[in-house]
């Protein structure tokens, strides 16, 4: 099944790359309008990053409206030589984070307002190359637990979470709770977002960095940082793992709303459109027919229009809509 998913995704990626080449020469060519929408596609990645940044801004706006403080949090989760363990590590992190909040909320009520948004990302280093990673990375890798296959491998994968965290309490208490849950040197980093001028840029940076397509690693030869792109085989292994899921980055997402906050309608990261204020009128006849059937509305045209969209009061518009879906007054 995973091989079949990779083959289908590869065909879509090749077609999207060909369309991108045509688009550079002739932007209005019909064959240049194809978009695969796959998260690892270099042509479609900007759309995914923009959508992630927009969702992060909405999440942060909800937290600020509730009077909460925003924190930037990074947690190193594990180390493994088996990239297939990445999905289970992310799932375990989501579960442990929710359990941590539940335990703390039983002791002090304000912990129920703790929320988080972000993604689990993966870093990669040469196994046994600790001397070039700097003191912090070397110490952190030494203390990290092993996940998946602990056999020998030349690549050491390091899943870690980049999060926006909202809290109504002291941010240092959040840091202490996270460090107790995930102990280790340099494993947890917490920084409050207090400057209004830089807050929006920081939120966008977290979203774009967590979903970035280009993967790099940093080494410190002679104490000087040097940023290198991943080797081709590393990038191909990462892309094949993501494509085998068939769900984009959704298994790596972390979304934990404060207890009691209204749950918003989930938006698929691959299908979100640029139109944020899209009304039900544009949802299509199938959606309108399903809503009319489920609600068992009266045959009054005004009642149907009000029930389908309280913001729309134009009987002429809804009359055309309802005729399009086959509704006739009895």
Q: What is the pLDDT of residues 253-284, one digit of tens each?
A: 998 888 766 555 444 443 333 333 322 222 33
Which of the given ranges, 146-150, 163-167, 269-273, 304-308, has the highest pLDDT on average?
163-167
Dist CA 123 CA 130 (whole Å): 14
Please give the pLDDT value at position 181: 94
pLDDT (tens digit per residue) in 156-190: 889 999 999 999 888 999 999 999 999 989 999 99
Q: How far is the C-alpha of 105 from the C-alpha of 24, rounded, in Å?
A: 54
* pTM exceeding 0.85: no
Phi-psi region of 184 (alpha: psi -120 to 50; beta: other; left: phi over 0): left
Tell me which DSSP letter residue 263 carries.
Answer: P
Average pLDDT over residues 281-302: 38
**77 pLDDT exceeds 90?**
yes
CA neighbours within 13 Å on the CB side: how many for 184? 22
pLDDT band at 299 (very low <50, low <70, confident <90, very high): very low
pLDDT at 175: 94
| pLDDT beyond 60 at 287 | no
96: closest CA among 168, 180, 158, 157?
Answer: 180
Q: In this model, does residue 83 exceed pLDDT 90? A: no
Segment holding 73, helix H or strand E? strand 69-76
Mean pLDDT of 189-215: 80
Nearest CA to 121 out of 187, 74, 64, 170 is that of: 74
């Amino acid at each position: 099944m995973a091989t079949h998913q990779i083959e289908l995704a590869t065909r879509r990626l090749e077609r999207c790359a060909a369309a991108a080449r045509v688009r550079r020469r002739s932007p209005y060519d019909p064959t240049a309008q194809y978009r695969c929408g796959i998260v690892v596609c270099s042509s479609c990645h900007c759309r995914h990053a923009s959508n992630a940044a927009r969702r992060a801004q909405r999440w942060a706006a909800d937290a600020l409206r509730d009077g909460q403080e925003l924190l930037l949090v990074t947690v190193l989760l594990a180390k493994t030589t088996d990239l297939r363990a990445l999905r289970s590590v992310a799932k375990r992190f989501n579960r442990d984070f929710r359990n941590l909040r539940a335990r703390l909320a039983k002791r002090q009520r304000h912990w129920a307002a703790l929320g988080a948004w972000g993604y689990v990302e993966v870093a990669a280093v040469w196994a046994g190359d600790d001397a070039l990673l700097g003191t912090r990375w070397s110490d952190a890798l030494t203390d990290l637990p092993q996940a998946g296959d602990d056999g020998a491998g030349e690549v050491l994968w390091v899943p870690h979470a980049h999060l926006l965290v909202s809290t109504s309490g002291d941010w240092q208490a959040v840091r202490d709770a996270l460090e107790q849950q995930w102990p280790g040197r340099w494993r947890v980093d917490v920084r409050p977002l207090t400057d209004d001028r830089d807050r929006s840029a920081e939120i966008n940076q977290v979203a774009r960095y967590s979903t970035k397509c280009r993967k790099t690693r940093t080494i410190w030869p002679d104490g000087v940082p040097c940023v290198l792109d991943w080797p081709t085989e590393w990038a191909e292994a990462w892309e094949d793992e993501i494509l085998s899921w068939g769900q984009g980055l959704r298994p790596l997402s972390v979304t934990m709303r404060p207890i009691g906050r209204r749950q918003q309608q989930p938006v698929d990261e691959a299908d979100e459109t640029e139109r944020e204020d899209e009304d039900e009128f544009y949802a299509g006849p199938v959606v309108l027919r399903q809503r009319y059937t489920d609600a068992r509305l009266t045959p009054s045209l005004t009642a149907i229009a009000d029930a389908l969209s309280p913001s729309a009061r134009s009987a002429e518009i809804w009359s055309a809509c309802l005729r399009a879906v086959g509704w006739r007054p009895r």
